[in-house]
């Protein structure tokens, strides 16, 4: 069926050592696809990670292309700044955006790929009309805000629905990312459901061997994704 579709493993540095990020990113660079950079503003979610200036420093030191995940209020004006700062892709939350179509255009015109993320309580039907215009859909498999939470299997029907929609598109097919609780235990279920891009935070950075963990995650996902 779709065996050749690419699998992406994107480590999240949310649970890495924030004081030594250059080294933390270097550790996983050779075996990862993108660096997943979680931006939280303590408004859209009850947690704060990096100010814009600090994020720009991380984007500059990262040896991996950056997949920014903006968990912020009012992303419409800020998301394009992340694109301009050199992120490979910028994902904003559907629930937070005032003008989804305009924000898609503004990210793209600033040179980045475009992602839309939906929280566990948001139905796929809300975003289906945008799918053909974006590069990535992110189905959250935890409530956004914190690393280390349990994977929500109950989101898998949404992942299946999104995969069916994506596969029915004629043109380029956006990546289907799952974010939250991905581990060697949960990745197979997510891949079987149709995800081809996997964010892994604590599974990677709490592992004694992050490189081997990423390699294992990739192998498990490849074997289950069709």
Residues tagged active-site: 38, 179
Using the rule CB under 6 A, is 149 a contact of ligand DX5?
yes
Q: Which helix (H) or strand (E) holds 155?
A: none
* 3-class DSSP assignment, residue 35: strand
Q: Residue 36: beta bridge partners? A: 12, 67
Instruction: Give residues 160-179 in contact with ligand DX5 (rule: CB under 6 A).
Output: 179
Candidates 63, 66, 71, 58; CA nearest to 19 is 58
Counted residue by residue, the chain has a size of 226
Using the rule CB under 6 A, is 142 a contact of ligand DX5?
yes
Interface residue with ligand DX5, options 70, 201, 214, 225 (CB under 6 A):
201
Nearer to Zn ion (CB atom), residue 65 or residue 132: 65
Using the rule CB under 6 A, is 182 a contact of ligand DX5?
yes
**One symbol per residue from 63 to 82: x for binding ligand DX5 (CB under 6 A), - otherwise; what is it?**
------x-------------
Q: Which residues contact 112 (CB under 8 A, 6 or more apart)?
A: 82, 83, 87, 88, 89, 90
The torsion angles phi and psi of 145, rounded to 5 degrees, stand at 140, -35
CB of 172 to Zn ion, least distance (A): 23
**Which region among 64-72, 75-83, 95-103, 127-135 touches Zn ion (by CB under 5 A)?**
64-72
**Which region among 26-34, 60-68, 144-152, 185-193 touches ligand DX5 (by CB under 6 A)?**
144-152
CB 218, CB 9: distance < 8 Å:
yes
DSSP notation for 193-212: HT--EEEESHHHHTSS-HHH
Interface residue with Zn ion, options 13, 15, 35, 38 (CB under 5 A):
38
Torsion angle of the four alpha carbons 74, 80, 84, 90, in this order, in degrees rounded to the nearest 10: 90
Interface residue with ligand DX5, options 24, 25, 28, 36 (CB under 6 A):
36
Nearer to ligand DX5 (CB atom), residue 54 or residue 129: 54
Candidates 178, 176, 224; CA nearest to 203 is 178
Using the rule CB under 5 A, is 69 a contact of Zn ion?
yes
Nearer to ligand DX5 (CB atom), residue 130 or residue 146: 146
Using the rule CB under 5 A, is 179 a contact of Zn ion?
yes
């Amino acid at each position: 069926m779709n065996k050749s579709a690419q699998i992406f493993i994107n480590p999240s540095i949310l649970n890495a050592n924030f004081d030594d990020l250059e080294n933390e990113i270097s550790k996983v660079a050779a075996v990862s696809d993108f660096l997943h950079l979680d931006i939280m503003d303590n408004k859209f979610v009850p947690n704060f990670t990096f100010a814009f200036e600090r994020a720009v420093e991380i984007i500059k030191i990262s040896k991996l292309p950056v997949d920014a995940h903006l968990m912020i209020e009012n992303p419409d004006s800020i998301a394009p700044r992340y694109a301009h700062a050199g992120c490979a892709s910028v994902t904003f939350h559907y629930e937070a955006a005032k003008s989804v179509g305009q924000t898609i255009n503004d990210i793209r015109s600033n040179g980045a790929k475009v992602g839309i993320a939906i929280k566990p309580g948001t139905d796929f039907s809300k975003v289906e009309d945008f799918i053909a215009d974006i590069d990535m859909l992110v189905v959250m498999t935890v409530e956004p805000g914190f690393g280390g939470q349990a994977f929500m299997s109950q989101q898998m029907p949404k992942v299946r629905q999104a995969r069916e929609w994506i596969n029915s598109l004629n043109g380029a097919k956006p990546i289907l990312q799952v974010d939250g609780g991905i581990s060697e235990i949960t990745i197979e279920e997510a891949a079987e459901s149709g995800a081809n891009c996997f964010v892994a935070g604590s599974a990677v950075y709490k592992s004694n061997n992050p490189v081997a963990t990423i390699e294992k995650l990739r192998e498990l996902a490849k074997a289950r994704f069709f």
